[in-house]
């Protein structure tokens, strides 16, 4: 039996070469990143650290932070105040549970992306960032800003068949197209 890491090595090397080529391209720094966090009271420590790492390491790229606050386990007023002091202008929105699996959670996630896309330019970026994702540099933002891809994310846990995980990026135009597709499918139900 070949260990998973060894089996994934060829795909990992291929993706590393692609990433290196993308990072050599000129960036599109006029884009705004709309960073969507879905969080709750018990994840506050992680969320705060994630947002702090963002303020420390993502300097060149313009971003707006959207915090979708779980209505069943909401952040406290003191937690929200601490976050607002860290990220002035953050949008904190009471929101249905959007963590985990299930049709309802996935639906509310896409509704949140749609909300973040309102007023955004087609080439802006919507990002899903989990509360426990910490940034140690801005390389991923540079790669996304230079990429022509509509969707960028991690695929090593799923054999690079699709992206998944706690940090992925979509162009606003892609979010809008998927939102329209979801709406048209709901009409069929």
Predicted pLDDT of residue 185: 73
User: pTM of the predicted model, to two decimals?
Assistant: 0.84
Q: Tell the CATH topology of 4-8+30-188.
A: Spore Coat Polysaccharide Biosynthesis Protein SpsA; Chain A (3.90.550)
| pLDDT tens-digit series, residues 54-104 | 999 998 789 999 999 999 999 999 999 999 999 999 999 999 876 666 777
Q: Domain locations in the chain? A: 4-8+30-188
Query: CB count, 10 Å around CB of 103?
Result: 7
């Amino acid at each position: 039996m070949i260990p998973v890491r060894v089996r994934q090595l060829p795909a990992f090397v291929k993706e590393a070469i692609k990433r290196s080529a993308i990072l050599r391209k000129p960036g599109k720094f006029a884009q705004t990143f709309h960073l969507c966090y879905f969080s709750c009271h018990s994840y506050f420590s992680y969320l705060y650290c994630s947002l702090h790492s963002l303020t420390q390491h993502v300097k060149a790229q313009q971003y707006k932070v959207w915090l979708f606050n779980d209505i069943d386990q909401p952040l406290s007023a003191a937690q929200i105040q601490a976050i607002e002091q860290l990220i002035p202008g953050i949008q904190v929105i009471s929101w249905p549970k959007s963590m985990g699996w299930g049709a309802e959670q996935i639906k509310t996630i896409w509704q949140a992306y749609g909300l973040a896309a309102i007023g955004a330019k087609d080439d802006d970026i919507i990002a899903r960032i989990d509360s426990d994702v910490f940034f140690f540099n801005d390389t991923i933002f540079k790669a996304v800003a230079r990429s022509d891809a509509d969707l960028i994310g991690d695929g090593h846990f799923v054999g690079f068949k699709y992206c998944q995980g706690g940090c992925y990026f979509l162009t606003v135009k892609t979010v809008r197209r998927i939102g329209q597709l979801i709406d048209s499918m709901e009409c069929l139900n």
